Structure 1
């Protein structure tokens, strides 16, 4: 059996689809399944068992001998969350418990970290484990993810294989439920569909023109391909960046979304909301050399390819992966 936590969420549900496509059908999905808006993400998939996240460790104590691999992708992913108790409970304490269980039962583990750990990027975007304790995230979500990365590296007891993945700006199908936290691609699609126009955040940094803020946008199909590969690789444990390796502007993203929809380009700007303005990343780009150095060589989608596939095969028809 393969365990996927956060399985009704965006990335994890796409991973379940990737596993099913490779004929892995004994999937145990873990989540809070009372959130109805996420349930379409798991409908129609080949799943062996649904386990509530609160019951998971009791379940694991009884079934660990049959568990081959754990993907721990469940977390509180709202970057505007300020309740430290919630973040510590779901992102830090739960992950520590998962790590310890994988050590006890010798189960390999891949878990979700985040590029939010890099903060303003003053130390760059290299997945060098020696600098992780020096990183200063810009929000409590990033701090919770970085705190766990630091804790994991300090442990003497480790799963025989483990990988923490610093996800950059992931976009793609199955994020319909995410609201404000959905990707800019999805927000752009909805805005263009409803009004024929798109409003982007104005730059409040003199080094960047409006719309020229840059992010490493990575297509979710590439993300799950990497995780699938790591499940088979099972060596070279550590923390890895997971982005496309190329920073692109929000204008690039906007133009490609208009093009994929066959719509005329119509863009204006508004001020970045004050509650996130001082925590806003103006540039991110994953250094992907470390992952490539251990043998991962599958090409990533370009922004053009990813947006076209996402818009034409999922957003326009309203389908799920």
Structure 2
């Protein structure tokens, strides 16, 4: 059996689909299944058992002998939430329980970290584990992810294989439930489809023109391929960036979304909301050498390819992955 926590969420549900495609059907799906808006993400997928996230530690204690691998992707991911207690409970302490169980039962583990750990990027975006203790995230979500990365590296007891994945700006199918926290691609598609125009955040940094803010956008299909590689590889434990390795502007994203929909470009700019303005990232770009060095050779979707696939194959026909 393969466990996926956060299985009803964006990346988790896409990973379940990818596992099913390779005939891994004994999936233990762990999540908060009371959130109705996430239900469509798992429809039609092959799942052996659904386990509530708060009941999972006890379930694992009873069933660990049957578990082959754990993908711990479940987390509170809202960067606009500023109550550290929420992140401490769901992202830090819960992840410690999963880690310790994997140590005790010798289960390999892949868990979700985040590029939010890099903060404003003053130390760059290199997944060198020596700088993790020096990073300064910009919000409690980033703090919780970095705190767990630091804790994991300090442990003398570790699963025989483990990997922490610093996800950059992931976009793609099955993120439809995420509301404000959905990718800019999804927001752009909805605005363009409904209004024929798109609003982007104005730059409040003199070093960047409006729309020239840059992010490392990675298509979710690349993310799940990396997860599959690590499940089969089970060597070279550590913390890895998961991005495309290429920063692109929000204008690049906008132009490609308009083109994929078949509409004329019509862009306005609005002020970045005050609650996120001070901690807004203007540039992110993952260094991907570390993952390549351990043998991951597949090419990444370009922003053009990813948006085209997302819009044409999923958003326009209203499909799930």
By the TM > 0.5 criterion, same fold? yes
Paired residue for 1:192?
A: 192
Between the aligned partners of 1:38 and 1:133, the Cα distance in structure 2 is: 35
CA deviation digits over 1:105-135, x for unaligned, max 9? 0000000000000000000000000000000
In 1: Cα distance, 2:58 partner to 2:205 partner: 50
Return the TM-score normalized by structure 2: 1.00
User: Structure 2: which 5+ residue stretches go unaligned?
Assistant: none
d(CA) in 2 for partners of 1:210, 1:178? 25
* Distance apart, 1:192 and its partner CA: 0.2
Q: For 1:144, what is the secondary structure of its paired residue?
A: helix
Looking at structure 2, the residues matched to 290 and 84 of structure 1 have their Cα atoms a distance apart, in angstroms, of: 31
Instruction: Give the deviation of 1:58 after TM superposition.
Output: 1.0
Aligned equivalent of 2:218:
218
SS of match in other structure, 2:203:
coil
SS at match of 1:177: coil
| Counterpart-to-counterpart distance in 2, 1:145 and 1:81 | 14
**1:28 is paired with a residue of what secondary structure?**
strand
Structure 1 residue 50: Cα displacement: 0.3
| Matches of 1:278 and 1:151, distance apart in 2 | 28
CA distance, structure 2, for counterparts of residue 63 and residue 243 of structure 1: 34
- 1-side partners of 2:272 and 2:52: how far apart? 37
Look up the SS of the partner of 1:193 in the other structure: helix
Is residue 112 of structure 1 aligned with residue 112 of structure 2? Answer: yes
Shift of 1:161: 0.1
Question: Residue in 2 aligned with 1:152?
Answer: 152
**In the alignment, what sits opposite 2:129?**
129
Classify the secondary structure of the residue corresponding to 2:55.
helix
Q: Does 1:242 align with 2:242?
A: yes
Corresponding residue of 1:33: 33
Counterparts of 1:57 and 1:290, CA distance in 2: 32
Alpha-carbon distance between aligned partners in 1 of 2:58 and 2:147, rounded to the nearest angstrom: 25
Q: How many residues align?
A: 321
Secondary structure of 1:285 counterpart: coil
Q: TM-score, normalised by structure 1?
A: 1.00
